[in-house]
Amino acid sequence: MKEYPIYFLDKKKIKNANLKFAIILSLWNKEITYRLYQGAYDTLIQLGILKEKIKTWKVPGSYELIYSSKKIANCYNFDSIIVIGSLIEGDTYHFKYLCQSISQGIKDINIKYDVPVIFCVLTDKNKKQSFERSGGKNGNKGIECAKTAIYMSLFKKSIK
């Protein structure tokens, strides 16, 4: 599995940046989303983010990630927001419409608000694939998203 390099993520630089993160966790498919959350949360801590600088909210499903991330971006001053969800394809078109709506909604929030919203929503064909991507043989996308959140937070601070 190819992972983002962390060689230039200096813990001292991260600590000095005093970064604050919001994590929004979908409870739908929670056996998968909790694994993604744990990967993201643990990575933030391992890279020097203080526990009190990470705030977590839970929402019923992945569609609710749109409203909740918009509200948090509008009302709080976080350096990045990580949205975590899991959609698994079924026999209806519901999966397709949700995937498209959620990705477009999160994209719109990234454009409208001055805070990076990191997309950690798995869109998989089956549960096996979801488990493989949330701590299985294909790694944990939550880890990658936490690193991306740090990168984007430092980027944001570098251009202010």
Catalytic residues: 94
Q: Could you tell me which residues come within 8 angstroms of residue 131 by beta carbon, excluding any fewer than 6 positions away?
A: 32, 35
CA–CA gap between residue 129 and residue 156 (Å, rounded): 33
CA–CA gap between residue 130 and residue 12 (Å, rounded): 34
- What 8-state DSSP symbol labels residue 126? S
125's tokens: 């064909």
Task: Supply φ then ψ for residue 66, to 5 degrees.
Answer: -65, -60
CA–CA gap between residue 100 and residue 94 (Å, rounded): 10
